[in-house]
Amino acid sequence: MVNINLSRDGKNSESRETPLVGTAFWLSSGLLVFAVVVYGILLSYNGVVASQMAGQRLNVSNLAAQVNSPSAQAVTDFFRRGEEVQKHIGTIVIPGDTFGRLEKTVLPSVMVLSYQRDGQAGIIKLTLQTAALKDIAQQILSFKGSFDNVIGGNISVGSDGLFTGEVTMTDKASS
């Protein structure tokens, strides 16, 4: 059988009346309140982040001023000089080293009367004195093991019978 609506007032007997304020209104109102709360939180967080960034900028400018200060430059210069010394550590000539090698190579029978050194060229000039000419020759040979270009010369006999001679040589460490 066919369902025919015989009601007169045009209202469906099965339909319900919808309230003026429905579910959609409450849902959209809730979303609006949520959006306003989130916007407020983001605004306050933006202020906190901006103040932290200003503090960090101030900190960076203070550190930059400290790095560019004369004392920091002096420390940097000190370390740079230390690195340069480390590069050249093998080429540094220590005068005490020359004296140590002279002490080891001078024979007991030979006395050194004078010592001269040209620091730039590393040339050493010695005046030696001994009782025997043979000792001066042995001394020259002894120097050849520790020094370069060993040359003896100007050997003379004094009134006391002692032989005096000059030796010129180049320091191996400075050449």
Q: Is the dihedral of CA 71, 76, 79, 81 positive or negative?
A: negative
Q: What is the mean pLDDT of residues 149-170?
A: 89
The model's confidence at residue 73, banded by pLDDT at 50, 70 and 90, is confident
DSSP lists the bridge partners of residue 114 as 127
Question: 47 is written with which tokens?
Answer: 């202020």
Whether residue 1 is predicted with pLDDT greater than 70 in this model: the reply is no
CA 51, chain centre distance (Å): 35
**Which pLDDT score, from 0 to 100, does residue 44 have?**
92
pLDDT tens for 59-70 read: 999 888 887 888
pLDDT tens for 126-142 read: 999 999 889 888 999 99
**Which pLDDT score, from 0 to 100, does residue 166 have?**
92
Question: 134 is written with which tokens?
Answer: 């043979």
Strand order in the sheet with 163-171: 111-118, 123-130, 163-171, 147-157
Q: What angle do CA 76, 81, 82 make, to 5 degrees?
A: 95
The residue assigned the tokens 């001066």 is 136
The model's confidence at residue 56, banded by pLDDT at 50, 70 and 90, is very high
Write down the pTM of the prediction: 0.44
**Which pLDDT score, from 0 to 100, does residue 32 have?**
95
Q: What is the mean pLDDT of residues 96-120?
A: 84
